[in-house]
Structure 1
């Protein structure tokens, strides 16, 4: 990074001490950290270094007396997966501490290392308490915790105490960092590799408690790097190297099946995540861009699935015509879009809560209608509640999706075959979404979302664009539905209940409305967690509700939000607006 400085350096993490004005009662508030004993103490930095080293050293010693808790943590000098997470966290903390004061001090001028170390320390303490608590509960008492666990806990406490006492030395804004292109591209490649490794490890973790600890580790490191300002720089270089980022993301997605060793279980989960993500991307057009609250979107996925099932070679299919799969995909997508037009034409003249109620009713009407087309209450089309089972696997140009294939010595099973097909469909959906988002149509949708009356006054065809968003989102969901029918082997009405629509909407809101990466992250979280946390299945909805409440409180714009959404939810953050404006001015000057 160069030594160029911003015109308006960011304020320090510490608050200004109380100062009197003309009126005695007007005081500047003191941040709670200023009351921490030892704040700014010179011993804080060596304490942090010692804490990180002690944390890492403890991981090379046994944590558990028994070998059947959290993997095998009973062997000295052979860290298990749970311990390796703490090694990584300790190394990240060491780098940041050396950037705070030491050989990497030049890097520390760009990063808020004090706040970052504090976040990492608190995360390490929470991780160690969770790990040691799990060992104590599952092995029969605290006595079964070996010295290595206590040593790592002490190191985590020392690191957290150091973070609370450190004072930030950041003087430059990461938004204004000038770096070489090769460094930016290498950073993106490393990030993609970490994503690939992390996804493979997460799916390979079978124990629920170990999976929760892994999530806590990822959250702690992400929190620490975010507080340091690393993600600000990563977001900037991602915008500058968007094509490299997209290519890397698809390379990671393509290589993922080769990391699973032929595991059908893991690939089944990954395929379900892709189906869920592709459907959520279609909903993102309706909710994220146009701002239309749709609570019955799952019906469009079901419409595509029923088209795929009734036109399949299943013995229970009710239509004799068996066209090629490409024709089936287009028919399923067009049928879903037609339903979007039918339901949207009379209802899109209302908005807000009224539109939500109407779409909720449409989702229920679709489910009940599919259950009544059984020959008794209606024509024989869907076999009613029994649905259409025994749907055969696709055979595309001689390629049988139901048979395993060996590539480079790695066996790719049935679910891996469908994974690659869905990856192509997801790529098409992402291409359509990004093109629409960057077009006049996308700007019209955003204008409608922000202020429908103002958009109409400026000449925007409000009703036409809303109807197009509804039909376009339905079209994309229908495409995913036709593949889902063959992947699931059967289609029944109870697969398309309101709760599925709620989870799709939550994926869009949780990840970040109006963004591709955000929806992919949200869909992955909401689809992966229930599979890995089956031991708390009875409390799934409670945990889900708590997560949404916390998101609304601390990050209402979503996990991966666009700059526009950040400003919408943080209108009072004048510093953020000023920084973004200065970056845009610099980019405009560079282009000129």
Structure 2
């Protein structure tokens, strides 16, 4: 989100007022949080108590304290130590804007869930006025040139501790956000997180953390998987949240496979959901369901490999004749393939063809997955916390995700990955340089389809049923949107995009009639303000911002540092 700026002459004239106005705003926000915000105790988790801030009031206090730290960095006891490194003025502008958005959201939530603004108590208005003052004061504090915080080198133990603190914040922040059952509370927690991250970006702190993550990549990877592993233990056995988490992992694993095709090789595939469906139908047909059509029940590991291989074979079948075309023509052909797959599943019902899929009825009653003596449908108590069936599937999907990420990373950093990138950038030039264009395109389709097939075999058991209606074109569109939204060619971006597209519709059900409208609006805004995605690949970042010489220099130095 771009931060509104005032004319330089106006800023220079009122610069002396910015700091005291900002301090006054911080004080008012904090004072207001110790008063009642809402007359109705049933709104936003009971904000009607005096002298004892509620959850959302505590978040407002945290944003205010961050603003105070930045104010003291601009002018105060922290200026001599942090003022040379942190871009406190720019960070304060971002934080002031998000704090104002947060308080506007609180006022709207109270007014919407009650009979109007009359139910907003004085504390809410005091904190709102304070947010306005913080925002106004931040706009007239002049900016200045600082050192590049990303170049700062700190002791190794401090950098490792920073990684640990950030990842722990992600874990407990996610647990706190998912615990908000009220949609408005969930939105406000997201605004709080957005404001914190925006301030970190603007101050340069996130840039420094990016350099630390590059230098401590193994530590970051281990910390990320540790956070993912401990996540179910923060949900107190909540099947609802763990169901969302397993859906996110299946969606993300499939999207990473599509990322090979779209993000690396640059091939627009609009029928990719068919490969996920192929894996699911293989697992369903070979399961012990009463409606299964194949009387052979091999071990699950064999089923997983069969599902991946069947999907890869379909990738080769569709890829061999169609990869001779490119661009819009390839998109249309793959879209047709996705619809052919869905209608084929309808017709393989014993009347229009062999009975393999039970037609539109699909294959219901798929039993819970059992590996050895471990049944994924049973509850298990670990450290006093009950882990249900979705938690069991979650851990299995974590192993699948680790494998998918390993495959993507190895291929991306290999000669094959460089060949895919060359094809994406300029197919004719790559062919002229001796790159086997057709072979690499076909390999991208096969590998991407294989990974989707693996995810499909687990999805069948988790859902308990497989039907053709699960694999419509809209699902392929959402997979592609996750890649575009998160950042093509990246792993973190796809994970973030998949989480957003799967989590938000579940938590914002009061927008049920407008979810697709909001989704489309989000994509339009992304294409306008950040076309490279939320987590941008460095090469694509330069493609979209070729005129930014400072960015080019920074990216070049980062690539050199990674090469070391």
Q: TM exceeds 0.5?
A: yes
2:70 is aligned with 1:92: no
Report matched runs for 1:61-460 at 5 Å: 61-105=35-79, 106-460=81-435
Task: Kindly indicate whether the alpha-carbon contact (under 8 Å) linking 1:39 and 1:164 is maintained by their aligned counterparts in 2.
Answer: no
Mapped partners of 1:398, 1:425: distance in 2 = 20
Task: Kindly indicate whether the alpha-carbon contact (under 8 Å) linking 2:214 and 2:562 is maintained by their aligned counterparts in 1.
Answer: no
TM-score normalised per structure 2 = 0.97
Mapped partners of 2:357, 2:182: distance in 1 = 40
Mapped partners of 2:373, 2:219: distance in 1 = 34
Tell me the CA shift for residue 584 of structure 1.
Answer: 5.0
The match for 1:53 among 10, 27, 47 is 27
Mapped partners of 1:420, 1:439: distance in 2 = 29
Residues 442 and 324 (structure 1 numbering): CA distance in 2 closer, same or farther, change over 3 Å? Answer: same
Residues 363 and 583 (structure 1 numbering): CA distance in 2 closer, same or farther, change over 3 Å? Answer: closer
Tell me the CA shift for residue 103 of structure 1.
Answer: 2.4
Question: How many residue pairs align between the two structures?
Answer: 562
Mapped partners of 1:585, 1:358: distance in 2 = 40
Tell me the CA shift for residue 145 of structure 1.
Answer: 1.1
Task: Kindly indicate whether the alpha-carbon contact (under 8 Å) linking 1:62 and 1:146 is maintained by their aligned counterparts in 2.
Answer: yes
Q: Which runs of 5 or more structure 2 residues have no equivalent in the other structure? A: none
* Other-structure match for 2:8: 34
Task: Kindly indicate whether the alpha-carbon contact (under 8 Å) linking 1:33 and 1:164 is maintained by their aligned counterparts in 2.
Answer: no
Q: CA RMSD in A?
A: 1.7
Residues 35 and 211 (structure 1 numbering): CA distance in 2 closer, same or farther, change over 3 Å? Answer: farther
Residues 84 and 377 (structure 1 numbering): CA distance in 2 closer, same or farther, change over 3 Å? Answer: same
Task: Kindly indicate whether the alpha-carbon contact (under 8 Å) linking 1:110 and 1:170 is maintained by their aligned counterparts in 2.
Answer: no
Task: After superposition, give the CA deviation of every residue in 1:463-521 in whole Å (9 maximum; x if it has no partner).
Answer: 11111001000000000000000000000000000000000000011001111111000
| Corresponding residue SS for 1:43 | helix
TM-score normalised per structure 1 = 0.92
Tell me the CA shift for residue 193 of structure 1.
Answer: 0.6
Mapped partners of 2:267, 2:30: distance in 1 = 50
Tell me the CA shift for residue 101 of structure 1.
Answer: 2.0
Tell me the CA shift for residue 43 of structure 1.
Answer: 2.7
Task: Kindly indicate whether the alpha-carbon contact (under 8 Å) linking 2:11 and 2:142 is maintained by their aligned counterparts in 1.
Answer: no
| Corresponding residue SS for 2:48 | coil
Mapped partners of 1:204, 1:265: distance in 2 = 10
| Corresponding residue SS for 1:411 | strand
* Other-structure match for 1:20: none
Report matched runs for 1:424-573 at 5 Å: 424-573=399-548
* Other-structure match for 1:5: none
Mapped partners of 1:586, 1:32: distance in 2 = 37
* Other-structure match for 1:27: none
Mapped partners of 2:215, 2:169: distance in 1 = 20
Task: After superposition, give the CA deviation of every residue in 1:403-460 in whole Å (9 maximum; x if it has no partner).
Answer: 0000011000010000000010000000110011111111111111111111111111
Task: Kindly indicate whether the alpha-carbon contact (under 8 Å) linking 1:394 and 1:486 is maintained by their aligned counterparts in 2.
Answer: yes
Task: After superposition, give the CA deviation of every residue in 1:46-77 in whole Å (9 maximum; x if it has no partner).
Answer: 22222223212211211001111111111122
Tell me the CA shift for residue 173 of structure 1.
Answer: 1.1
Task: After superposition, give the CA deviation of every residue in 1:374-401 in whole Å (9 maximum; x if it has no partner).
Answer: 0111110000000000000011111000
